[in-house]
Amino acid sequence: MDAGVASGLLHLAATDSAVPSRLLSPDAASKRPSAPGGCGGAGPSAASPLLPDALWHRLRRVSLHPTPRRSQRHITPFFLGLLALAAAAWAAPQAPSPAGKPAQPAAIGCVDCHLALDDARITPPAKLFADDIHARAGFTCAFCHGGDASAQDQEVAHDKKKGFIGKPAPRDIPALCGKCHSDAATMKQFNPSLRVDQVSEYRTSGHGKMLAKGDTRVAQCASCHGAHGIQHVKDSRSPVSPRRVAETCNGCHGNASLMADYKLPADVYAKWKKSVHYQVRVEKGDLSAPTCNSCHGNHGAAPPEVGSVANVCGTCHTVFADKFRLSPHWEPFKEMNLPGCVTCHENHEIVRPTEAFLAEGDQGKCSSCHEASSAGGKAAAAMHTDLVALSGEIRAARVKVERAAEAGMEVSRIQFELSKADDALTTARTDIHRFQAAAVHATASGGLAVAREASKAADKALAERDYRRKGLFVSLAVILAAIVALTLKIRDLKTGQPPPPVN
């Protein structure tokens, strides 16, 4: 037992119940296991047999000894003993268990039997549960599966009269998990910041609705979080951890035959991998870029409604969404039932937008609805011209500034000025979403003037570089001439001959 376990033990001894009595079946709560081990005995942490033992006692106290006076008689000497054990554990040198594995309790319990049976169906869950977040919090098999965890006989342990439910049916899983996760009073004892509306949300999801109708192929809690090796969602081992959630969704949503039954595309993951969001999130490692649940929600997963697309995109792209709401497209899109942002930017395969979106041609977005000769087509062309001019000027200026910087010129102020032109380009790109060419022109013109100034300053810096180099060559020529003159003078000296006599 390590010091951490000992301190945890002291903590348990000092605080009130961590697991409420209502979570215990009467049988589990009333029986003290004959020896530590298993679900009701040694409990979740086989490496720390004292922890579940203490927990068991505390649970027992809560359920069987409601009056403090009676419990105190038993608990006081017991906790004194625990404190002594904790102190001994703190001070004792740590002895590694054989082969580096946690020491296994000797007694029989759910885990012991299920491990000993070495059955491909029932042994892996017992192994996985040892490192489950619930096991670490002190929960045991019986909390979900019921039965008599302390029994050494399978028939007794699996007695349905004792609440044994075996493997929960998929349809029952949300309610089973919700037993704790929907209970604020319970959850705040373990993770006060965790929400408790996951099951309610789930019932509003596509998955939840279909499960309610009896379709057990849809995702429920265990489909995404796992059943026995559950980890915190921020733990990289969790299938729904930020870096893995897309692959987990794709487990079903990339299954063409399964998706065909629901008339859903099976290429959404492949499309997302081509998106700018994937590039930023996965290739650049910026986890603020969206993955599946960022737009679809996690427990309430469902495609955003047509009318709410702009709201969903607008949670990150706020400026774009605000300007789009002010645009002449806002009302017609609603009337035409067009899905806002998705109309031009796609939903999963969202590529980095370019000025070409505004132009005629394969990539043109405006031209797919507006004729070139129409007012909309002309406005798109004007915006395209402004943006191309500005981005071209910025590019040209930046090339010069970089050349000057490589030559060692001090260009930080020019770079700062150029960043203002970058800002203007970004603003002009957001202005496009108002679809008012005059606004884009005003912003782009301001940026263009700044970029031209930066370009001139970069030209000046390059001219200065050339001036320095010319100056250097002139100086070198003068120095060389001086060296030649000195050398000639030295040759005239009769070095090594005795110096003239000094008076």
Closer to other proteins at the Cβ: 308 or 412? 412
* Residue 261, CB-side half-sphere exposure with 13 Å CA sphere: 10
Closer to other proteins at the Cβ: 113 or 454? 454
**Shortest spacing between CB 488 and other proteins, in angstroms:** 10
Residue ranges in contact with other proteins by CB under 8 A? 408-410, 412-413, 468-469, 471-472, 475-476, 479-480, 482-483, 486-487, 489-490, 493, 495-496, 499, 502
Nearest CA-CA partner of 422 in 442, 387, 447: 447
> Could you tell me if 190 and 181 are in contact, meaning their C-beta atoms sit under 8 angstroms apart?
no
**Shortest spacing between CB 410 and other proteins, in angstroms:** 4
Identity of the residue numbered 287 = L
**Shortest spacing between CB 480 and other proteins, in angstroms:** 8
**Shortest spacing between CB 481 and other proteins, in angstroms:** 10
Closer to other proteins at the Cβ: 194 or 474? 474
Identity of the residue numbered 220 = Q
3-class state of residue 385 by DSSP: helix
Instruction: Return the residue matching tokens 């489950």.
Output: 132
**Shortest spacing between CB 446 and other proteins, in angstroms:** 25
Closer to other proteins at the Cβ: 171 or 403? 403
Closer to other proteins at the Cβ: 371 or 402? 402
Q: What angle do CA 279, 282, 284 make, to 5 degrees?
A: 70
C-alpha to C-alpha distance for 257 and 280, rounded to whole angstroms: 31
**Shortest spacing between CB 402 and other proteins, in angstroms:** 15
Closer to other proteins at the Cβ: 175 or 477? 477
**Shortest spacing between CB 403 and other proteins, in angstroms:** 14
**Shortest spacing between CB 100 and other proteins, in angstroms:** 22
Identity of the residue numbered 248 = T
What does the DSSP assignment read for 145-156? H-S-TT-SSHHH
Identity of the residue numbered 413 = R
> Could you tell me if 421 and 450 are in contact, meaning their C-beta atoms sit under 8 angstroms apart?
yes
**Shortest spacing between CB 460 and other proteins, in angstroms:** 11
Closer to other proteins at the Cβ: 195 or 413? 413
Helix axes 412-431, 437-492, angle to 10 degrees: 160
Instruction: Return the residue matching tokens 């070198």.
Output: 476
C-alpha dihedral sign at 211, 214, 218, 223: positive
Report the Cα–Cα distance between both ends of the chain, in Å, rounded: 98
Identity of the residue numbered 222 = A
Nearest CA-CA partner of 393 in 341, 452, 329: 452
Closer to other proteins at the Cβ: 142 or 409? 409
Closer to other proteins at the Cβ: 15 or 473? 473
Closer to other proteins at the Cβ: 34 or 475? 475
C-alpha to C-alpha distance for 307 and 325, rounded to whole angstroms: 12
**Shortest spacing between CB 464 and other proteins, in angstroms:** 9
Residues 6+ apart with CB under 8 A from 44: 52, 129, 130, 132, 134, 135, 136, 137, 138, 139, 140
Nearest CA-CA partner of 341 in 274, 266, 432: 432
Identity of the residue numbered 343 = T
> Could you tell me if 293 and 301 are in contact, meaning their C-beta atoms sit under 8 angstroms apart?
yes
